[in-house]
Amino acid sequence: MELNPSTLDMDWSEVETKILRFIKDYVRKSKMDGVVVGLSGGVDSCTSAALSALAIGGKQVQALMLFEKETRNPEDIRHAKLVAKQYGLNAQMCDITDTLGAFYRSIPSFDLADKLCKGNVKARTRMIYFYYYANKMNLIVCGSSDKSETMMGYFTKWGDVAADIWPIMDLYKTQVRRLAEHIGISKKIARKPSSPALWPGQAAENELGIKYEQLDLILYGLEHFLKVEEIAERLRLKRELVEKVKRRWLSSEHKRRMLLTAKLEYRTVGWDFRLPRDPYQLAREDDL
């Protein structure tokens, strides 16, 4: 198996069709009125929002632009608005600065300098906004996580990954960029560096310690059962780097597979209750 940029090529029209069908099918079967999706201005969220609009119509897509003082980036806002306009989304902007401030203040020992803990609070606060809109407006939460970040565990548990459906989770970041361009999202948005926007100046590639172009090919090799040394040899990388990526992938499974239950009885949630997902529950009932 070759590992080079063309390895990640797909038939983008077919990928688009499959994703649109997936979104449409879930919305129909769940008898909901549409989706709510976070629109940060980054490539993942812009692509998920645009695909949702192409699947069910922009008016059925509630795009939430959740910004806060610390990470507010005028270019991201401009990009989010651009996509909202281009795809006719039902867009709304919320400033969550006060919500976050109230949370920080409510914990006497809250450590404002601990950017990781604080950043995770931001991701989980955004999730609360999405589910509020979902409950209130009878919508499904559409996630924007991609395969690279998900495999690397580069997300907040119960935070940015929390959603009902994940239309682009089986695409690596560099594939999402190509799909974005295929469906008409501007090159500037499709190719700009990614950031979870949890603290100022945060850049995904810096934190992961590797360029997505390389990371995606390593992950592709792991997905296809290649051994670490085979991947390193094909990509002319140090074995240690590939090993590091693999370790990070394996050690973050707890974030991807929730509900670890102590097995005590006959059939158990998370183990051997193996039930179909359909028929879907209404989101309103999810929280009861």
Query: How far does CA 159 lie from the centroid of its chain?
Result: 10
146-185 residues in contact with other proteins (CB under 8 A) are: 165
108 forms part of the interface with other proteins (CB under 8 A)? no
Q: Would you say 67 or 220 has its CB closer to other proteins?
A: 220
Q: In angstroms, give the least distance from the CB of 183 to other proteins.
A: 19
Site for other proteins (CB under 8 A): which residue of 109, 277, 285, 287?
277
19-48 residues in contact with other proteins (CB under 8 A) are: 21-22, 25-26
Q: In angstroms, give the least distance from the CB of 163 to other proteins.
A: 13
Residue count at the site for other proteins (CB under 8 A)? 14
Q: Would you say 175 or 195 has its CB closer to other proteins?
A: 175
Site for other proteins (CB under 8 A): which residue of 110, 158, 271, 273?
273
3-state secondary structure 261-274: CCCCCCCCCCCCCC
Number of alpha carbons in the 13 Å side-chain half-sphere of residue 238: 4
274 forms part of the interface with other proteins (CB under 8 A)? yes
Q: Would you say 66 or 226 has its CB closer to other proteins?
A: 226
Q: In angstroms, give the least distance from the CB of 147 to other proteins.
A: 15
Q: In angstroms, give the least distance from the CB of 277 to other proteins.
A: 5
Dihedral, CA of residue 220, residue 224, residue 230 and residue 234, to nearest 10: -40
Q: Are 210 and 219 in contact (CB under 8 A)?
A: no
- The 3-state DSSP class for residue 200 equals coil
Residue spans of alpha helices (H) in the chain: 12-29, 43-56, 74-86, 97-106, 115-137, 147-152, 173-182, 187-191, 204-208, 212-223, 228-235, 239-251, 253-256, 283-286
Contact set with other proteins (CB under 8 A): 17-18, 21-22, 25-26, 165, 273-279
